[in-house]
Amino acid sequence: MEPEHGDRPHSPAPTLYPVGFAAGIACALVGLIVNPTLIAPIGGAIAIVFAFFWVRDATAEYRGVPQPVEPERRGAPAVGAVPGEAAMPEPEPGERFPRNKFLEGATLGVGGVIGGIVTIPVIGMTFGPAFGKQGKHHVDLGSIDDFPVGEWKIVHFFLDPNQGDVTRRTAYIRYNGPLNGAPSFTIISNRCAHLGCPVQPNGPSFPDQTKSIDTGGGQHVTLIKMLPAGGFGCPCHGGQYDQEGNRTAGPPVRSLDRYEYSIRNGHLILGKTFSVAKVKGSGKDAIIYRYRLAGPGQHITGWEQIFYPLQPPQ
């Protein structure tokens, strides 16, 4: 039995405006942590819109807006219903009416939309950078005239000058001379294929022959002459590599990674990094067995590689 209201009006029907307002506030708070310049304003805008409609709906009575529901009044005592034949048959077990289906679908649909508004921007801003701009850097290392044929250089540079020292990298570069009418370079990463420690040249370097170059956009490149007569070595765990980056001793599971490169207007442009299983030959005649970039310690050939998760572009 429902309680009697007498002359009191019914309470206003529930609305979804408070839910939308709460979703907007949640999105704004998450945006302050994940991406204050994009997600937070979107969440704030959602909260403001739903708050406007919520306040407007809640203050309708005070603003003189006619109420759609008339107060319920009870007069004479109700007369009991006369028993008779049922208007419709009893529902079968598990039978559902169209109204139930509609309300259930509407509830799930609105809940899904609100959940998407809150979660999709967060997921996008969390995982988007890992698969978006990564691996698309192009670093201008200066004129190829700064790289004499057959001479090794220690090259320091920034992947993204706007982010500062956190993107500072080192590569070992040798100009091999022309190959089929185009300059040929050996560009080896200094990241050890064991655990990622910085490998060092097994030979002397000549700091007095250092050259600094500003190639624009805040990019500062440093070239230091070196002579890796014994190849390269890792000071952390004893990994050893020859001058082509092939592993010769120690725990590394593969050769040193290398950089892609191109020549534009006489300048050496560094591209993305790739992993190398092994290198046959040397210099411009080398045959490089390349693979997509893998993490330190990961096998890129053989059955072991199936146990490693996919890497995002780097």
> How confident is the model at residue 180, as a pLDDT?
87
Give the Cα separation of 2 and 4 in Å (integer): 6
- Residue 112 token pair: 């899904």
> How confident is the model at residue 249, as a pLDDT?
93
Banded model confidence at residue 82, pLDDT cuts 50, 70, 90: low
Q: How far apart are the first and last CA of the chain?
A: 67
The overall average pLDDT reported for the chain is 81
> How confident is the model at residue 128, as a pLDDT?
64
Domain residue spans of the chain: 11-66+106-131, 139-307
- Residue 201 token pair: 């040249």
Give the Cα separation of 257 and 169 in Å (integer): 13
Q: What is the DSSP string of 88-107?
A: SPPPPTT---HHHHHHHHHH
Q: How far is CA 2 from the centre of its chain?
A: 55
Asked if the model's pLDDT at residue 14 lies above 80, the reply is no
HSE at residue 312, side-chain half, CA atoms within 13 A, is 10
Residue identified by tokens 């309680």 is 3
Give the Cα separation of 270 and 277 in Å (integer): 21
Residue identified by tokens 């004479």 is 76
> How confident is the model at residue 215, as a pLDDT?
87
Please, which residues have CB within 8 angstroms of residue 230's CB and are 6 or more apart in sequence? Answer: 202, 203
Nearest CA-CA partner of 232 in 152, 302, 148, 313: 152
> How confident is the model at residue 311, as a pLDDT?
61
63-84 mean pLDDT:
60
pLDDT per residue over 284-310, tens digit each? 899 999 998 888 888 888 777 777 766
Give the Cα separation of 139 and 171 in Å (integer): 12
% helix, strand, coil for the chain, step of 5: 30, 30, 45
Banded model confidence at residue 76, pLDDT cuts 50, 70, 90: low
Helix intervals (H) in the chain: 17-34, 39-58, 98-131
pLDDT per residue over 170-212, tens digit each? 999 999 999 888 899 999 999 999 999 999 999 999 999 899 9
8-24 mean pLDDT:
70
35-58 mean pLDDT:
80
pLDDT per residue over 107-117, tens digit each? 777 777 887 77
- Residue 78 token pair: 């109700």
Whether 259 contacts 138, CB under 8 Å: no
> How confident is the model at residue 105, as a pLDDT?
75
Asked if the model's pLDDT at residue 67 lies above 90, the reply is no
Which architecture characterizes domain 139-307 according to CATH? Answer: 3-layer Sandwich (2.102)
Q: Are strands 139-143 and 232-233 parallel, antiparallel or unpaired?
A: unpaired
Give the Cα separation of 37 and 40 in Å (integer): 6
Nearest CA-CA partner of 44 in 68, 27, 67: 27
